[in-house]
Chain A
């Protein structure tokens, strides 16, 4: 008991010495700014330590939550790991191990800045899509396919495709939270059993189509009265594959579809989103041709 009390007091006495100062942040931010290039990002350790956003500008600052994935980082050429190593329960080694596990290589030792440290990691094989479906959604052809096969158009208005049927069926690119991570994705709220079709003409395909999707926000956790979202991926009208997003299953879902047979030529790629019960199916997806 004496030990518990003394250790508790020691915790509070030691705490101020583990916290970075504003000067530490400014020094770390200046270090990052002096080296930053296009294609860089800052990854935080621990992931929630977003006070850094106040100081680090010009480079995306990533909080990938508790479940970062390789796919969250594969587009970045370099990652600055900004760590607060002395905080209670801090474990910068875990983030470093994650970066190494996805083939990022340290470009040098960690640079201390007071209670902060910055370490640069390089991605030897960044994966940049030859076609980014989220970035290109403004030019897509968007409609709801009626049961008789006719198209109910969602005409383009600036960079969006609002469907006349309902205000929330408004296809556009947006930053959305899926599984606690920010994802730039195509907002594609289903209209019901009739598929919402987002069609991209003239897409040059590569080896594969990589697709990520999920239900946005906390509604993903709830199961009562909600339905499953189905997304079919088609090339030139032929079904390439599909993904489903049932209620109560949080997290982003990813799939890769083999397109080697279609490589090099231009095709029409469509994503068809439907749900028998579309209530509160805040669906968003991102895709790239690689």
Chain B
């Protein structure tokens, strides 16, 4: 087990399986899951609908409609009707560049909780499954962290994860970024459990299927686990029983290889009649995905090659600084242990060798960050694309905090009990303040190191993306737009525009305008690649003087112009 357990006494361990939760762990995990769910549900109202989310809402409706088709077909005595390719394609053609697990859940949730039961507002109905998997992410992070670190350290890791404003923002959305972070954690958790309980190999396969059914980031996971297996389990198994033992230990990978694709195929009706052709189309789509422009330290990145280390450079200014420091301290120590264990002993001088569990956490902490830092991988979307790294990095942050707490306790024994909670509170306080300051504009957050929004703007960092900050000017538009006004909301697409109306965030009589020329009000969303759009508004309206705007600590985010009468 982890070296940290020698530092921080763990609660009693279940006999036979050192990785299993002990008494009370499940309850704490459940409490964290519920708290996460409620925190997201209660703060969802102000979170705008990003461009992609509007598209997913529509796809979700289509996919849910197919399940209604199935029920109707059964009712009418033609059960096979809904399973014909034409019937499937009619419902699943839309947005078939992503698997459908989450979108189907979003659609069914909306159907049940918004349309039938009226328990949730329109957007909440779609988003609820995302909050649920976010809650499960908290539970898994706790369950793994409690064994690899300590209970309090694991709770710290969960809090640090959700108090990061960009994470909190993405937790609300009916998208795939937080769900794939959950699914990644789930696969790793199951694999980790399978190391001491072979039954978990099957769950690993199923979990990998779930990950595949959420987003293509999942393709990376087996490689990370294989490296871990090769460096730790394979050698042990070989010494124990030769090739047969190694093969036996490979069971989780066998399960991933078989159950993973099976789950992907079964959950996605669109693949049923043309599995290879449509799957290859899906793979090709992501293999050739165009990059969207992204401003990074004063340079607009448009085409590959992108700067090496991009993901690290962005993480440096988007994770709250105090937590970031703990991540750096914690991860640096584990990397030194890795170097001392696997590369050259003196590199890990004074540190214990890296145990297998820590190696697993280390690999998963850096996998997404490293992949997104390669110069030919598209970089649009920013920090959301390496969310799966963050829970693992925060386990290391928790370990670093444990060491700080322990050294304080050694120095001042009288504050032994208070040292860790006090330090945790001190570290998390700026995160909480930053979150309150930022919500619901998560894509705009820059940390204290960057100098917040103004510092980010001066550094030349991407100021926002996905159009969701437009919620900052919707109340003004509702109050000031003439009846039936045509309003150009720039990056807000037709799906999101309609969603704002359904959610009651945009007046029903306001009409969608395609551009400045056919509008009387325009809300420009500052992004460097769209600067010409603002000039088009000036040109069309004959004025460069706005009438309103969302200025976050002076940084223009959404700027509203009105055509002079």
Contact = CB atoms under 8 A, between A and B. Distances in A.
Contacts of A203: none
Given A1-B329, A175-B539, A49 B554 contact: yes
Interface stretch (A5-13, A150-158, A258-266): A5-13
A84 B423 CA distance: 35
A177 B434 CA distance: 34
A87 B554 contact: yes
A54 B551 CA distance: 11
B404 A177 contact: no
A20 B307 CA distance: 36
Interface string A199-229: 0000000000000000011100111100000
Contact of A89 (B321, B458, B528): B458
A216 B529 CA distance: 10
Nearest to A6: B426
Query: Among the interface residues B293, B529, B554, which one has the most CB atoms of the partner chain A within 10 A?
Result: B554
Nearest to B431: A8
A238 interface: no
Given A8-B322, A9-B429, A221-B302, A19 B553 contact: yes
B544 A53 contact: yes
Interface string A76-95: 00000000100111110000
B429 A5 contact: yes
Given A48-B556, A177-B531, A221 B303 contact: yes
B2 to A, nearest CB: 21
Interface string B439-460: 0000000011011101101111
A175 B329 CA distance: 50
Contact of B423 (A1, A57, A174): A1
A1 B430 contact: no
Given A89-B459, A248-B303, A5 B427 contact: yes
Interface in A76-125: 84, 87-91
Given A5-B322, A48-B555, A218 B529 contact: yes
A19 B529 CA distance: 27
A174 B426 contact: no
Contact of B300 (A9, A84, A218): A218
B529 A2 contact: no
Given A5-B322, A12-B430, A46 B538 contact: no
Query: Among the interface residues A11, A61, A223, which one has the most CB atoms of the partner chain B within 10 A?
Result: A11
B545 interface: yes
A91 B451 CA distance: 13
B554 A84 contact: yes
A190 interface: no
A50 interface: yes
Nearest to A87: B454
A15 B549 contact: no
Contact of B457 (A19, A48, A217): A48
Given A218-B293, A218-B529, A4 B322 contact: yes
A263 B450 CA distance: 53
A7 B433 CA distance: 13
Interface string A50-71: 1101100100110000100000
A286 B153 CA distance: 62
A4 B324 CA distance: 10
A26 to B, nearest CB: 14
A90 B456 CA distance: 11
B225 interface: no
Interface string B533-544: 011001100001
Majority secondary structure of chain B interface residues (helix, strand, loop or mixed): helix
Nearest to B326: A1
Interface in B440-496: 447-448, 450-452, 454-455, 457-460
B535 A182 contact: yes
B387 interface: no
Given A175-B538, A218-B302, A248-B303, A8 B430 contact: yes
Contacts, number: 129
A108 to B, nearest CB: 25
Contact of B556 (A51, A174, A221): A51
A250 interface: yes
Contacts of A88: 451-452, 454-455, 458
Nearest to B539: A175
Contact of B554 (A11, A19, A176, A216): A19
A283 B556 CA distance: 28
A66 B433 CA distance: 31
A6 B423 CA distance: 11
Given A66-B460, A176-B535, A11 B555 contact: no
A243 interface: no
B73 to A, nearest CB: 46
A76 B529 CA distance: 27
Contacts of B447: 8
A12 B433 contact: yes
Nearest to B291: A222
Contacts of B437: 12
Contact of A221 (B300, B455, B460): B300
Given A1-B427, A46-B454, A222-B302, A8 B320 contact: yes
Nearest to B530: A218
A27 interface: no
A177 B535 contact: yes
Given A5-B426, A12-B434, A57 B545 contact: yes
Contacts of A177: 531-532, 534-535
A228 B530 CA distance: 22
Contact of A53 (B300, B546, B553): B546
A113 to B, nearest CB: 14
B317 to A, nearest CB: 11
A135 interface: no
Contacts of B530: 218
Contacts of A6: 426
Contacts of A248: 303
A61 B534 CA distance: 14
B139 interface: no
Interface string A21-57: 0000000000000000000000000101111011001
Interface string B388-432: 000000000000110010000000000000000001001101100
Given A9-B433, A87-B553, 17 more contacts: A1-B404, A2-B426, A5-B427, A5-B429, A9-B429, A49-B554, A49-B555, A61-B544, A84-B554, A88-B452, A174-B539, A182-B538, A216-B532, A218-B302, A222-B303, A248-B303, A250-B300
Closest 3 pairs (CB-CB, A-B): A88-B451, A8-B430, A221-B302
Interface of B: 293, 298, 300, 302-303, 320-322, 325-326, 329, 400-401, 404, 423, 426-427, 429-430, 433-434, 437, 447-448, 450-452, 454-455, 457-460, 528-532, 534-535, 538-539, 544-549, 551, 553-556, 559
10 contacts: A7-B321, A8-B320, A11-B451, A48-B457, A53-B559, A54-B546, A88-B455, A175-B539, A218-B532, A221-B293
